[in-house]
Chains A and B, each alone.
Chain A
Amino acid sequence: MKLKTTKLTKNNLITYGFVIALFAVVQIFLSAGKVSSLMQGLLVPLCVYVILAISLNLVVGISGELSLGHAGFMCVGAFASAFFSKCTVDLIPVAGLRFLIALLIGAMAAAIFGILIGIPVLRLRGDYLAIVTLAFGEIIKNIANVLFVGKDSNGFHFSIKDAVSLNMEPDGVMLINGPQGITGTPGDSSFLIGILLVLVTLFVVLNLINSRDGRAIMSIRDNRIAAESVGINITKYKLMAFTVSAALAGAAGVLYAHNLSTLTAAPKNFGYNMSIMILVFVVLGGIGNMRGSIISAVLLTLLPELLRGLSDYRMLIYSIVLIVMMLFNWSPGAIELRKRYSPKRLLSKNKAAKEVE
């Protein structure tokens, strides 16, 4: 038993070390001036995607539920925190403190949405659950697009129609301007903060997985009826995984929002396309494997940029690579083929042949 624990810890340490090594390599390249400005602009989004992939993997891989609305939680976190930061940009001059509070607010808001959505949604199974999470994600995006919030001497004004119906005094300031979103969010994110958040996310998720609660969650995934019969509270543990995942996605949203000066809820960043992209990271990296999620999120984010020289063909190649990798990774035929020609087997075959001699 003790041996197993140390093995687990070692495995987790490798994952942490991997992230830190990645950070170190990027820092070395940065100080050597070898990173193009385009790539530098990608560093924070890279951390955002990694956090999203890890957090979705908690739901898809550990809890075994297919969620297609993860971008919705990111949207909640992003808007809640950007709203806070914009309101308090003069009140709290210290960027670090402001970001920390914004982070807590974003994660809390997303967690509350996670609970509210999770309670009804987690009653459903399989593909029905997937479509309802997708629906919730789209609703959140849609509401963010029609939300108008302004502030004047009388306090806050809300509307879901247009800016005029806020009835503000002349001195009023628009805080959230419907489809134009929030402008002027302080740019408090940085690559270092991003990496720290990735490490915190990993710490939370890995510790949850290796805890008593985590084992309960995995037992529900493996056999719901058996888990229920030994007295595991299904709703509680499913909701726990879902909410933690939502809060982490909210944190990713905070990072995302504070990296941009303008935050809008476009289909591209908070729509189902984004949710699906995160799911692609998770499945390609290996369902339930956190290190795999990190690697695939990094690779798939960099791939279109590395292929930039091919201009028009890059997304075409991206999609072909995706299909081929899925076929290679998952089809029983390819798995058989890989086993037959794996280096391990070829080596042991040689050894066996030698022994016969």
Chain B
Amino acid sequence: MSFISYLINGISLGSVYAIIALGYTMVYGIAKMLNFAHGDVIMVGGYVVLTVVSTMGFSPVVGILAAVVVCTILGVTIERVAYKPLRMASSPLAVLITAIGVSYLLQNIALLIFGANTKSFTSVVTVPALVLADGRLSVSGETQVTILVSIIIMAGLTVFIKKSKSGQAMLAVAEDKGAAQLMGINVNGTIALTFAIGSALAAIAGVLLCSAYPSLTPYTGAMPGIKAFVAAVFGGIGSIPGAMIGGILLGIIEILGKAYISSQMADAIVFAVLIVVLLVKPTGILGKQIQEKV
């Protein structure tokens, strides 16, 4: 029974990673950049909910909506101000370092406004725990909601990309920016839309993460951000189903590693699995193998 319980927890944590990884992978696919500030958008989402719900006393639904709106605006603004001018830069490293700068900036703004102390986050989930198998297996409300929300998000995102015009435009821009522009696609608008969706997802991930692990500091987003980045690479960066699979697998590996091998070495185990996968499949589980031409 304990194995199943660990497995469910792993899927739950993995779902959060998957939601964050979706943002990473979409941005990577379309802008060919590693958005290091993505993890800190999660943290911003957490603080917005904390402020709106705990300090101002609104209902959790308002809080989540506020977080999504704030993070979306933040994501688009960051793209417009910090990343867009560097899109044509001679080295791809320039925008990477700028993203790191944005990450420091968000952390320090949060540090100034909310202080370095850990804020306890009251869970926004009010679903009671589900007790199965004569009380031997209990699934917390947070876990249920996390898994449900991530299924909805993944299904919704897949439909959006496959069926909607904007979704197809995203795929086209990811494939070939120049050709997409010639076909009359608004490339700048599409990239901004990608950042908006990615940041909105990060906000939701932030709320879920903080509900499951109820403590919030300005650095809360950093480690989940890196893990989600690993998840995105794990599944093949740029691939949307890859990010989902990678995220969930990573969550399961982390929880099982913590439970059965060593709790201190959990991070090392996660990274070691990533290395092994990449050595066998150098572009991740679902990544495309690109042949280089002379």
Contacts and interface: CB of A to CB of B under 8 A. Distances in A.
> Are the chains A and B members of one assembly?
yes
A322 B101 contact: yes
Interface in B78-113: 82, 85-86, 88-91, 93-94, 96-98, 100-102, 104-105, 108-109, 111-112
Nearest to A146: B264
B86 A136 contact: no
Contacts of A318: 104
Contacts of B90: 330
B140 interface: no
B235 to A, nearest CB: 12
Which of B34, B97, B264, B278 neighbours the largest number of chain A CB atoms within 10 Å of its CB? B97
Contact of B105 (A284, A319, A334): A319
Contacts of B229: 131
A334 B222 CA distance: 30
Contacts of B88: 331-332
A226 B294 CA distance: 8
A276 B112 CA distance: 23
Contact of B93 (A60, A131, A132, A273): A60
B98 A225 contact: no
Contacts of A139: 268, 271-272
Contact of A276 (B86, B100, B264, B292): B100
B237 A330 contact: no
Which of A66, A273, A326 neighbours the largest number of chain B CB atoms within 10 Å of its CB? A326
Nearest to B100: A276
A22 interface: no
Given A128-B278, A139-B271, A143-B268, A287 B283 contact: no
Interface size class of B (residues with CB under 8 A): 35 or more
Chain A interface, DSSP helix/strand/loop, else mixed: helix
Contact of B262 (A131, A132, A146): A146
Interface size class of A (residues with CB under 8 A): 35 or more
B294 A225 contact: yes
A319 B230 CA distance: 25
Interface of A: 60, 66, 120, 123-125, 127-128, 130-132, 134-136, 138-139, 142-143, 145-146, 160-161, 224-226, 272-273, 276, 279-280, 283-284, 287, 312-313, 315-316, 318-320, 322-323, 326-327, 329-334
Going nearest first, the 4 A-B pairs with the smallest beta carbon separation are A330-B94, A319-B104, A135-B271, A331-B85
7 contacts: A128-B278, A139-B272, A225-B294, A276-B36, A315-B111, A319-B108, A322-B98
Interface of B: 28, 34, 36, 82, 85-86, 88-91, 93-94, 96-98, 100-102, 104-105, 108-109, 111-112, 222, 226, 229-230, 233, 237, 262, 264-265, 267-268, 271-272, 274-275, 278-279, 282-284, 292, 294
